[in-house]
Amino acid sequence: MFILTPLFFFVFGFFSSCGLPSYPVVYPPTTTTDLVFYHNANNTVSPNFIILGYDIVYRIYDGTVSDSTIENDASAYISPSVFSSIISNNWDTMTVYRRLNPDNGSVPGLSTTPLYTINDAFSSSTYSISININTSGESSLQDDLGNTIPFNRFLGKDIPTENFTLSDFNAGDIDVPDTYTSSGNGVTVAFFCYTYGFSKDLLSLHSNMVYIGSYTF
C-alpha cells in the first residue's frame, strides 16, 4: 500500500523532542479496499479540533493503469510541497493530483474544509466510507451512517465544474493528461485519502496519504 509521510510528522517529532508544545495527532483511514476506506476511531474531534475529516485526492490517467504504477507514481511525485499545495487549495499548481470539489452549492474551488467531516458522536465507531462513481451523472461519498456527499471536478475559476463520466473528460482539461483523446483507450481515475482538519489553535493538521483504489471508464 502506498503511504506518503508528509513533512509535518518530522516537524512534530522535532518539536516534541525539544520540549516545545505538542499538537494533536491525526491518523490515516484504517483498512482500505477498492474505493472503500474505514474511519479510524483514533480520529476524534473533541476536545482538540474545530473540524476533522477525510479529504480525497484524485489523478486521471489515459487508459488502463495498474495499482503498482499508480502507487509508484504517487510516491515519486507527491512531495511535501505538492502536498502543501493540495491542502492550501493552490489549484493552479494542482495539475496532476487534485482535491475533489464538494458539490454542495458553495462557490466551486473555495472550500478549505475536508470533503467528509467526521461526526464526533460516531467518532469512536468504525464504519466504512465508499466512493460511488456514477457513470452518467454526479458521483458521491457514501458512508454506513446514511450520509451522501456529492462531489465533482473543479477545473478553474469561471470554468464549469465537470463530473466523473467519460463524456466529461475532455482534452485540454487541467486534470486530463495531454495524451488523452476521446477516441483513445479510456480513462482510469486513481483516488487517495488523508485525514485533515483544524485544531482549536487554528493549526491545519493532516495525516499521511493512502491509496484507496481506482475506477476505469
Please state the separation of Cα 42 from the chain's center in Å: 19
- Within 8 A by CB and 6+ apart from 92, the residues are none
Which cell is 212 given? 484507496
- Residue ranges of alpha helices (H) inside the chain are 7-17, 67-77, 80-87
pLDDT single digits (tens) 158-192:
999 999 999 999 999 999 999 887 767 789 999 99
pLDDT (tens digit, 9 = 90+) per residue, 117-134? 999 999 999 999 999 999
The answer to whether 67 touches 215, Cβ cutoff 8 Å, is: no
Question: How far is Cα 187 from Cα 175, in angstroms, rounded to an integer?
Answer: 12
Q: Is 192 helix (H, G, I), strand (E, B) or coil?
A: strand
So what's the pLDDT on residue 181? 79
Task: Supply the pLDDT for residue 8.
Answer: 40
